[in-house]
Amino acid sequence: MSRKQLVIEQAKRILGSYDAAAEAVSTSPFAPRDNLESGLESLERPIEGNTPVGRAMAEVAEREVTDGLDGMKKLELGQDDRITPREQAGLEAIILLAGRPAILIQEGDFMEPPKLWADLKNVREQIKDAIRRVGRIEVSNNPNFEWLGTGFLAGTDVIITNRHVALEFSKRMNDGNWTFRAPMSASVNLRAELGSESTLAFKVTSIIGIHEDHDMAMLRVERASGTDRLPEPLPIATTPPAALKGNKVYVIGYPAWDGRRNDPEPMKRVFAEIYNVKRLQPGEVSGHALEAFEVFHDCSTLGGNSGSPVFDLNTHRVLGLHFGGRFLEKNHAVPLWTLQSDDLVKRARLNFQ
């Protein structure tokens, strides 16, 4: 499928109609909001709304919205073949910013969602509860990285992340067990939010195991850090939703700049050059290949989301472990409910509910 066909298909599926698209952008999600000010002060490249650059960005965004809405009119008339490159870019911008946003998190809470995702506010407390159990995998004495990806609390003192994340600081011993590659060590920071200088870090004390077949690793962490104690683990679903494809989900994680695999322009639209901090990223299950232990979703994720939990928006249970994908195309996750009898999963005693 060409890029143009992909954008048209997603515009029809996610935005639906011209009226819905117009309603979604009636309060522009493009311009920087006042409640970003405190966080942006700490960034190396802050986005300022009241500067020539900021005003130029807002003007470009307004033009893209207009072009995108013109494109939606053509789609409603069945004129898919008449979509211009500018209208395609506008449709893409509306899809990403209004339909598949990456919402910033501050002080354990998420910022105002776009109108298409206004229902997130109805379950704010449940999402806040999930937010505090997801962290950034940080590493010491690694020559290339200060942090590696995302992980989440899935057992009493167990963090799940991706195999390709854990391999950056782990090695397998002759007896088959795993240990740290000296002199490296790792921790999980349950904060790392926009504008926050505080941390809530729990040391990784051992590597329970790294899966041979799935992009999955289990890490043991200390139960207390100073006066802070680990929260309770997230519930993991024992069964999938009755209708898996199309089910609304959300990801929580730490998207990082990922220009090697993704087009920089859409990344700028969604992330406004703000990376490496915690975000809420809603979307849908777009398909599955359960025989290959994969479920697909269309949340706006990037490289640093490796190891993020994929939550069922209806139950707030974890459905899957995100492990990769390509922006705007297809993202991949391990369907955790299919691995309840797996040896490593049983050894880690995950919190299936």
CATH number of the domain within which 176 lies: 2.40.10.10
Q: Where are the beta strands (DSSP E) in the chain?
A: 103-106, 109-110, 134-140, 147-155, 158-161, 170-172, 178-180, 185-189, 201-210, 217-221, 224-225, 228-229, 248-253, 279-289, 294-297, 309-312, 318-326, 330-335
**What is the per-residue pLDDT for 284?**
96
Asked if residue 94 lies in contact with residue 65, where contact means CB atoms within 8 angstroms, the answer is yes
Average pLDDT over residues 210-227: 96
User: For position 55, what pLDDT does the model report?
Assistant: 56
Could you tell me which of 44, 78, 69, 52 has the C-alpha nearest to residue 276?
44
- Backbone phi and psi for residue 9, each to the nearest 5 degrees, phi listed first: -60, -45
Query: Is the pLDDT at 43 greater than 60, yes or no?
Result: no
The model's pLDDT over 139-168, given as tens digits with 9 standing for 90+, comes to 999 999 999 999 999 999 999 999 999 999
Looking at the structure, tell me whether residues 14 and 74 fall in a common domain.
Answer: yes
In the listed set 207, 229, 251, which residue is the last one of a domain according to the structure?
A: 229
The answer to which of 96-105, 157-166, 326-335 has the lowest mean pLDDT is 326-335
**140 and 95 housed in the same domain:** no
**Predicted confidence (pLDDT) per residue in 110-138, tens digit:** 999 999 999 999 999 999 999 999 999 99
Q: Is the pLDDT of residue 50 over 70?
A: no
Instruction: Quote the pLDDT of residue 160.
Output: 98
What's the pLDDT band for 182 if we cut at 50, 70, 90? Answer: very high
Are β-strands 217-221 and 228-229 bridged in parallel, bridged antiparallel, or unpaired? unpaired
Q: Is residue 234 part of a domain?
A: no
In a domain, 58, yes or no: yes
pLDDT at 29 over 60: no
Kindly state whether residues 13 and 74 are assigned to the same domain: yes
Q: Last residue of a domain, which of 213, 229, 245?
A: 229
Do residue 17 and residue 90 come from a single domain?
Answer: yes
Residue 153 lies in a domain: yes
pLDDT confidence band for 91 (50 / 70 / 90)? very high
Supply 257's token pair.
């700049």
Q: What is the model's pLDDT at position 36?
A: 45
**Mean pLDDT for the chain?**
89
Residue 195 is assigned to a structural domain of this protein: yes
> Is the domain of 83 the same as that of 145?
no
Domain count, the chain: 2
Residues 214 and 139 in one domain: yes
Which of 82-86, 156-160, 197-201, 345-349 shows the lowest mean pLDDT across its residues?
197-201
Q: In angstroms, how far is CA 90 from the centroid of its own chain?
A: 23
Mean pLDDT of 80-97: 93
Are 94 and 7 part of one and the same domain?
Answer: yes
Position with higher pLDDT, 262 vs 187:
187
* pLDDT for res 44: 40
Residue-range definition of the domain harbouring residue 58: 3-99
| Residue 85 and residue 157 in one domain | no
Question: Does any domain span residue 291?
Answer: no
Q: Which of 186, 210, 229 is the last residue of a domain?
A: 229
How many Cα neighbours within 13 Å face the side chain of 25?
A: 29
Whose tokens are 């506008």? That residue is 90
Q: Report pLDDT for 261.
A: 65
Assigned domain for 139 exists: yes
Place of tokens 């679903």: 237
Query: Radius of gyration (Cα) for the chain, nearest Å?
Result: 20
What pLDDT is stored for residue 63 in this prediction?
85
Q: 202 or 272: whose pLDDT is higher?
A: 202
Hey, what are 171's tokens?
């090695």
Same domain? 94 vs 160: no
CA dist list (Å): 63 to 41, 164, 288: 28, 40, 36
What does the pLDDT average to over 240-261? 91
| Residue 265 pLDDT greater than 50, yes or no | yes
The answer to whether residue 191 scores a pLDDT higher than 80 is yes
Residue 49 has pLDDT above 70, yes or no: no
Query: 285 pairs with which residues across the strands?
Result: 297
Within-domain flag for 147: yes
> Is 292 part of a structural domain of the chain?
no
Res. 26 pLDDT band, cuts 50 70 90:
confident
Are residues 8 and 86 part of one domain? yes
Res 54 pLDDT > 70? no
